[in-house]
Structure 1
Amino acid sequence: MALVPYDEHILSGLKRFHNSSTTYTFCNHPIQIKQDWKELGVAAVVWDAAVVLCMYLEAGGLNLKGTSVIELGAGTGLVGIVAALLGADVTVTDRDLAMEFLKSNVYNNLPKDLERRMSVRPLNWGVGLEHFSHFDVILGADIIYLEETFQDLLKTINHLSSENTVILLSCRLRYQRDHNFLDMMRKHFTVDQVHYDKNVDVYIYKAWKPQREEF
C-alpha cells in the first residue's frame, strides 16, 4: 500500500467524491449528477477529466452537431449528456453493474426532446464488439489507469473507429503506464495533445487513424 503524505488539498478533493450529488451548468442547462462512491467506487463519481472534456467540447474544441458519438467508461454520464446537448447522437457505455446508475443520471438530466438522441448500453472492453459499428467521435474521460485493461481498450477503440473517426481522451498522466498506453495508441493512430488544464493537471489528446495512401 502506498503512503500518501497529508495534504489538505488532496483531502478536500477526496471529500467531494463522497457527496451524494454534484451540480454543473453546460450549454445553459443545469445538470445534477448523482454520485455513489460507496457502492460503485470510481465509476460513480465525477472526475476532473470529465469536467475538463465537457468544457473543451462546450468551447468548440470539436463540433459535435449531427455526429454519432460513443463515450467509453461513461461512469456518471456527464460527458455524454453534454455531447447530446451539443447536438450529437450519443451512445454512452460502461460495465453492466453501472447501467442502472448511468441510466438514472442520463435520463434525469437530459431534456425530453433530446432523449431520442441518447442510448445507454453495456460495453465491456474487448467483448461483444460485433454489436457496435463505427462512430464519428469516440470520447473517454479518465479511462487510462488500469494497465490490465489497456489491450482490450485499444482493441475497442480500434473496432469503433474508421478513418474518419476522431478520438478525444481526457486524462491525468499519473504513472509511466499511462504514457505507455499513449505509445500503444501511436502504433495505430496519430495522437496529438490539443489541450492542457494546468489547474487540475488534465490533458486532452486527439487521435485519428492515418489515411491510407492511394496508388
Structure 2
Amino acid sequence: MTTQAAKEVPWVDAWVRWERNNDDGDTDHDDCNDVEEDDEELPPATESYTFTYPNPSADSDIVLELKGFHEDSEQIWNSTGLKLWRSSHYLCQHLVNEEAELLQDENNTNLRVLEVGSGLGRCGLLAHSLSHDNATTVLTDGDTDTLKQLRQNVSTNTSAGDDTITCKQLLWGEQHAKDYLSQQPNGKKHFDLILGSDLIYVQSVIQPLFETVRTLLCTHENAKFLMAHCSRREGNEVELSMVLDAAKKEGFEYEELIEDDDISLFAFRRKGAETET
C-alpha cells in the first residue's frame, strides 16, 4: 500500500497571536490572504549560532551550526520559531546529561523521537546526533517560513542521504495528529520520546498541544514528553497552572525535572501507561 505524502499548507504562527481562528480552533486560511501558496524565498538568516555538546558514545563532540534571525527582525514578528529561545538550552542539557543512555541504547530498536515546535531545530538535531543508527527522528513545525529555515539547518548538520531524520509540517490538535498518523507508512507510527521547548505563549495553543502529544505518544510505560517551559515573558498570558491542568485533562501525569528561575523542564507520561511486551 502506498501512502501519499501530506500536502503542506501556508501557515504562520502570528495568526495564533492575532486570534484569527475559526470556531473549531483551526486557522481560517480563507481569511488570511496575506500569505499565499508560493515558493517565495526566505531572506538569508542574519544570526549564526554554534553549540558544542559532549557525546558519551564517541570521542568527538557534537557540534551544531544553526542559522536564524534576530529578535527585532520582521521575520520574527510573523514566525517566532525563526529565533533561538532560552528554554532550548535546558532541554539540550537534559538530553546530554540524562537521556543519552536511552537514545544510544541499541536494544531500543526502532526508537522514534519527535520534536514539536522545532523552530531552528536545536533540540531535535541534538537528539538525532545522540541517537543510535536505528533510531528515527522527526522534526516538526507548523509555520511555513520556520520549516524552510529548519530544513536548511537540518541539511547543514546531517550527512547527505541520512534518511533517519526528516522535517514535517505538523499543526496541533487531535485531528491534525490523527491525519499525520494516517499518512505514515505501515509499521510503527507513534513516538517513544516527544520533545519541545518554548512552545506555549497564548492560552489557545495549550489544549491542542497536549491533544497532539496524547495522540502521537506511544502507550508503553517508558514513553514520555519532555517540555521546557518559560513562565515569564513580556505580555505572557499563560500561567503554569493552565499548562499543567491541561496536561492532566488529557491524561498525563508529570514530574518537574528542572526549575531555574522562570524556566522549568517537565516530563509528562500517560497515567496508567501499559507495560510494553
TM-score normalised according to structure 2 size: 0.64
Structure 1 residues 212 and 68: alpha-carbon distance in aligned structure 2, compared to 1, 3 A threshold: closer
1:19 Cα deviation from its structure 2 partner? 5.5
The correspondence for 1:90, drawn from 137, 145, 168, is 137
Range 39-48 or range 115-124, more displaced? 39-48
CA drift of 1:35 comes to: 0.9
Pairwise CA distance, 1:75:
0.2
Cα separation, 1, equivalents of 2:245 and 2:255: 12
Q: Assess if the C-alpha contact under 8 Å between 2:219 and 2:274 holds in 1.
A: no
Tell me which residue corresponds to 2:120: 76
Which residue of structure 1 aligns with residue 211 of structure 2?
155
C-alpha distance in 1 between matches for 2:274 and 2:141: 35
* Structure index of larger Rg: 2
Match 1:180 to one of 242, 260, 266? 242
Q: How does 1:119-138 map to 2 (within 5 A)?
A: 119-126=166-173, 127-130=175-178, 131-132=180-181, 133-138=189-194
Q: Which amino acid aligns with 2:130?
A: L
Distance 2:266 2:253 in 1: 10
Q: Report what 1:108 is aligned to.
A: 156
1:212 Cα deviation after fit:
5.9
Question: Which whole-Å CA distance do the structure 2 matches of 1:145 and 1:178 have between them?
Answer: 11
Structure whose residues are more often strand by fraction: 1
Counterpart of 2:103 in structure 1 is 64
Per-residue deviation at 1:31?
1.3
> Which amino acid in 1 is paired with 2:148?
E
For structure 1, which segment, 133-142 or 22-31, has the greater mean C-alpha deviation from structure 2 after superposition? 22-31
1:45 matched to which residue of 2?
83
Number of corresponding residues: 194
In the other structure, the counterpart of 2:228 is 170
Partner of 1:193: 256
User: In 2 relative to 1, CA 61–29 (structure 1 residues): closer, same or farther, beyond 3 Å?
Assistant: closer
Runs of at least 5 residues in structure 2 that lack an aligned partner in the other structure: 1-44, 56-60, 182-188
Give 3-state SS (helix, strand or coil) of 1:64's partner: helix
Q: Hey, what does 1:11 align to over in structure 2?
A: none
Q: Which amino acid aligns with 1:36?
A: F
Q: Measure the CA separation in 2 of the matches of 1:76 and 1:212.
A: 32
- Matching residue's letter, 1:204: L
CA distance in 1, matches of 2:193, 2:123: 12
Instruction: Report if aligned partners of 1:163, 1:211 keep a CA contact under 8 Å in 2.
Output: no
Contact 2:228 2:264 in 1 (8 A): yes
Secondary structure of 2:243's aligned partner:
helix
Q: What is the distance in 2 between the residues matched to 1:50 and 1:111?
A: 23
**Structure 1 gap ranges (5+):** 1-17
Identify the residue that residue 10 of structure 1 maps to in structure 2: none
TM-score, normalised to structure 1, is 0.81
Q: Which moved more, 1:117-126 or 1:173-182?
A: 173-182
SS in 1 for 2:114: strand
* Identical positions, percent: 26
Please name the residue that 1:5 is paired with: none
Query: Hey, what does 2:8 align to over in structure 1?
Result: none
Residues 68 and 82, structure 2, Cα contact 8 Å, conserved in 1: yes
Instruction: Return the offset for 1:117.
Output: 1.5
Structure 1 or 2: larger helix share? 1
CA RMSD, Structure 1 to Structure 2 (Å): 2.3
**8 Å Cα contact 1:74-1:94 kept in structure 2:** yes
Secondary structure in 1 matching 2:244: helix
Cα deviation, residue 177, structure 1:
2.8
Q: Residue 99 of structure 1 aligns to which amino acid in structure 2? A: L
Distance 1:159 1:51, change over 3 A: same
Q: In structure 1, give the amino acid aligned to 2:50.
A: T
